[in-house]
Amino acid sequence: MSVEDVAGAIRRMEVRGAAEIARSAAEALKDEAEDFQGRSLEEFRHSLTLAKEELLASRPTAISLWNGVQTVLKDESSAKTVDELRRSVMRNADDFIKRSKEAVETIGRVGSRRLRSGDKVLTHCNSKAALGVLIQAHMEGKELDVYATESRPWRQGLQTVKDLTAAGIRPTLIVDSAVRWLMKDLDAVVVGADTICSNGALINKIGTSQIALAAHEARVPFMVCAETFKFSPKTMYGELVEIEERDSNEVAKAGEVPPGTKILNPVFDATPPEYIDAIVTEIGVVPPSAAYEIIVRQLGQEFIFEANSKW
């Protein structure tokens, strides 16, 4: 698929999930590099810059997209020939995709240790990292009672119950507003992440912060599953995460509400670190207070510099 096609599919949420978005963008950059016909390095760099800008503009919130694109293009300035640049983009894209898939598998194994047979667990939206933990625990023979929120307005919870059912788990679907009612009966909440800020705050699907609040009130452990490329170097120097707002017709179609009704459709919200008990990454379980160190160690100075270069 062309960069334009991939960016469009991400924008329309045909491709969704923070990690999947990043992997698709990496694949699109790889194809762009493979198909480049010109001979000038300058022209090649220009076409990659345009591709990068188009992909980054497709959805603003998940840092995985920025980290993925940055990883693929990290050798751009040092490459001396078109061929060298092409090879580096293709190699980096393959590496990123492979590492990101392996990270989900590792998170599954690490996170499942936190769950016991008989646990009642709630998940929100459709996070492959969070589902990986639940499915791994099930494969290890633990009997889980899994609840999935509907996740209005896109209703990704329907996909979640399909994914869980396909893995042999019989889930229970609830409407988003039933979370607090249910919370007293739960043993854990397991969610994914679009972005983890340097102070450990979680940016995830709208409604996540309400779930965390209810979990905190009921003293139910709240676990976040996040690959290290979900941590944001951009937030280290104070940049705030842009919360995407989508079209009002995702909430109510024309004719369903009186003309002139204002509709707000924020897609993500921020959960403060004090409501998060553990973040499960591919390098282990960490507290939210470790976010700064993860960014420095795993992503490194180059990423931090690039992320804040406009500062």
Nearest residue (CB) to ligand RI2, 65 versus 82: 65
Of 92, 112, 156, 271, which lies in the binding site for ligand RI2, with binding defined by CB under 6 A? 156
Q: Does 224 bind ligand RI2 (CB under 6 A)?
A: no
Tokens encoding 107: 């998170």
- ∠ CA 225-20-125, nearest 5°, is 55
Q: Does 127 bind ligand RI2 (CB under 6 A)?
A: yes
Given 125, 197, 225, 277, the catalytic residue: 125
Given 194, 197, 225, 277, the catalytic residue: 194
Q: Does 23 bind ligand RI2 (CB under 6 A)?
A: no
Give the C-alpha separation, 214 to 218, whole Å: 6
- Pick out residues in 49-108 that bind ligand RI2 (CB under 6 A): none
CB of 193 to ligand RI2, least distance (A): 6
Of 51, 73, 115, 129, which lies in the binding site for ligand RI2, with binding defined by CB under 6 A? 129
Q: Does 282 bind ligand RI2 (CB under 6 A)?
A: no
Nearest residue (CB) to ligand RI2, 112 versus 204: 204
Stretch that binds ligand RI2, among 82-90, 108-116, 127-135, 173-181 (CB under 6 A): 127-135
Q: Does 17 bind ligand RI2 (CB under 6 A)?
A: yes
Of 16, 23, 216, 234, which lies in the binding site for ligand RI2, with binding defined by CB under 6 A? 16
Q: Does 128 bind ligand RI2 (CB under 6 A)?
A: yes
Strand 222-225 versus strand 145-149 pairing type: unpaired
Q: Does 150 bind ligand RI2 (CB under 6 A)?
A: no
225 is catalytic: no
- What Cα–Cα distance (Å) separates residue 284 from each residue in 43, 226, 278, 293? 42, 10, 10, 13
194 is catalytic: yes
Q: Does 194 bind ligand RI2 (CB under 6 A)?
A: yes
Residues engaged in binding ligand RI2 (CB under 6 A): 16-20, 125, 127-129, 156, 191-194, 204-205, 267
Question: Which residues form the catalytic set?
Answer: 125, 194
